[in-house]
Amino acid sequence: MVWENLATIGEEDTARKDYPSISTSQVVAWAESTGGSNHWFIRAKVGDSLLTLTDPDTNCKFVSILADTAVQTTPSTVTTNVYYTWLQQYSGDTWTVPYADKQVLAADAEANVTRYNQGRKLALDDNDTLHSVYRTNAGSIVYAKKKDGVEGWTSSLLRSTGQFPCLANDYLSRTWVAEHDVSSVPPSQVIRCQNRAVGSSSWHDFQVYSVSTGGPALAKIGPPAIVACQNDSSDTDRSAAYIVFTVYTSSPVKSTIIMAKVDTLGVVYVDTLHYVATLGDSYPSIAAYPVAGPGYGLKVAWQYGTEVYVKKITNSEHPEFLAKRTWSSDFNLSATAAKSKHPLIAADADTVLVAWVEGDSGAIVTKGQGPGSAYDSWGGVASVSACPDTVCDNPTIALGDSIIVAYHKKLSATNYDVIARVNFHSNLNLSNSTTTSKYPHCAFHFHNDSFPVISTVWTEELSTNYAEVAYKRWQLGEEGGGGIQNAGFFDPNIHPALFAPMPNPFNGLTNIRYQTNIKGLTRVTVMDITGRRVRNLLTMPQSPGIYNLTWNAKDDRERQLPRGVYFMRLQTENYSESRKVVLE
């Protein structure tokens, strides 16, 4: 038999320790007495957490402890349920045998762990697997993942040093991680990238960019953002990612936004996207979207001074046409007197959307356009937060069959909530706590191709300089409830639903199919991307059943509506849901 080396469980001090009990190698309890007292109390070690389980003023001995298997409930948190019983002196020669249980949380994430909205901390691949990355209190980078609908995350150490990690998944479900690191020999700051194929346990790690922090330049690099694509070349096993970041130098004084293209073999090229002879935060964000023919489009948004700017690659990015790569001019997207900051850009086949913070009060606003639109052709401003008296910040976007814009909202100096705005008309409080919940990142998807789901991570402050990467899974379409449950008014065999319009995109007529399980008033309306109602398709009482409608792309006055993104909205007595539809 082979035994491992001895390990010290309790603290090495003058306290007497006796009566040990063990559940697993990670859960041990014992009785402890201090200061020469004849009174004993119960302590335990659960993972790395040292706990006091009973009052030190009582007299307790002979503890027996059991524990469930530890479950990683969030990307950074392991939860263990502990059950214990012990012998406790009641009075004189009278003793009792109490029982108690305790849930022990072990988190190891740095403060503000999900900060910087432009560098995503949550990604979803085509296999319905969630991926997250974060920095620990010790300064290491940890990668975590979970299959949607399956309990528990799994995590692994990615790098022993680093900061500002972010990640993306490409169309081959390859995971890409970018992070900022600091080197002392020679003094420098670097951007690194790692990538891993789906199902593989090995990461390919390489340096993307480096600046010297010594000498007169005193250069530094800001937090990166990353987006991933699939190369349209004969080598279908290769994919690519794009990393944007800002380089600051003091001599000469300048801020430069850099974009680096990387593939599975290393750096392909480096572009300079924006240059100014001042120092200031720019927070660049990047999005990719499919285009007609080979390749894909790229758009970048950033903060400069008090404005938000965007630019796009004017021809589709393609590995065989690197020499033709050109970028548009910078376009002032916000163009207001108020300060605009912290932009985030996202894109899919139907929509390009930029969200940012507008004004000192912290209102969250957006502007959108079609992927193929000109770099300077954008829709109007849509308000998301609608809370002018409350500071909101850190907007993030998830696109799919719905548009989700999430952000954090300040309620008091120590209380922040994470809010998600769904299709510009309904709010969800995802954290709903009395503590500090900040810096969300979210993903939208359909579980088993059936139920729309928002998955979100954010920073939950547990104590000073100690945080958790909190995680919440929210299934949409379950608003409300109740209603009249009498026969003829409610059908439990029908699940209320609004199905995807068909065809979508469309340019003439599109069909809307929905079902309701309760008798009452039913409304079906069409809204534009700003949340304004443009067409009322139905407002009337209906019985439980399945129904169909058509929409001819016209408003209530039968005027043809412009091309763009719209939302079908179903409202019944116990249900509300929206679906995105694209008019071409």
pLDDT over threshold 80, residue 465: no
Per-residue pLDDT reduced to its tens digit, 414-435: 889 999 988 887 788 888 877 8
pLDDT over threshold 90, residue 321: no
Count CB neighbours of 508 within 10 A: 10
Q: Averaging pLDDT over each range in 157-171, 271-285, 373-387, 423-437, which range is the top one?
A: 157-171
Q: Which residues of 403-421 are buried (b: 16+ CB within 10 A; e: fewer)?
A: bbbbbbbbeeeeebbbbbb
Of the candidates 171, 6, 27, the residue with the CA atom closest to the CA atom of residue 106: 27
Identify whether 191 is part of a domain.
no
- What's the number of domains the chain is made of? 3
Average pLDDT over residues 534-554: 86
Same domain (yes/no): 471, 530: no
Dmax (CA) for the chain in angstroms is 90
Average pLDDT over residues 178-185: 85
Same domain (yes/no): 536, 579: yes
Identify whether 250 is part of a domain.
no
Same domain (yes/no): 508, 465: no
Phi and psi, residue 321, nearest 5°: -130, 45
Q: pLDDT band for position 355 (50/70/90)?
A: very high
Identify whether 282 is part of a domain.
no
Same domain (yes/no): 20, 81: yes
Same domain (yes/no): 546, 576: yes
The residue from 60, 77, 107 where one domain ends is 107
Same domain (yes/no): 468, 501: no
Same domain (yes/no): 398, 472: yes
Average pLDDT over residues 257-286: 86
Identify whether 78 is part of a domain.
yes
Identify whether 259 is part of a domain.
no
Identify whether 309 is part of a domain.
no
Place of tokens 């499919």: 290
pLDDT over threshold 90, residue 551: yes
The residue from 56, 88, 107 where one domain ends is 107
Per-residue pLDDT reduced to its tens digit, 356-399: 999 877 889 999 988 878 888 998 888 888 665 678 999 999 99
Counting Cα atoms < 13 Å in the Cβ hemisphere of 382 gives 23
**Contact indicator for 131, 145 with CB cutoff of 8 Å:** yes
Domain containing 64: what range?
Answer: 16-107
The residue from 107, 138, 172 where one domain ends is 107
Q: pLDDT band for position 481 (50/70/90)?
A: very low
pLDDT value, residue 36:
67
pLDDT value, residue 561:
92
What's the rounded Cα separation, in Å, for the pair 417 and 220? 33
Per-residue pLDDT reduced to its tens digit, 88-104: 998 888 999 999 988 88
Q: pLDDT band for position 128 (50/70/90)?
A: confident
Same domain (yes/no): 20, 93: yes
Same domain (yes/no): 504, 449: no
- Return mean pLDDT, the chain: 83
Same domain (yes/no): 528, 570: yes
CATH number of residue 544's parent domain: 2.60.40.1930
**Contact indicator for 50, 32 with CB cutoff of 8 Å:** no
Identify whether 376 is part of a domain.
no
pLDDT value, residue 215:
65
Identify whether 434 is part of a domain.
yes
Same domain (yes/no): 454, 501: no
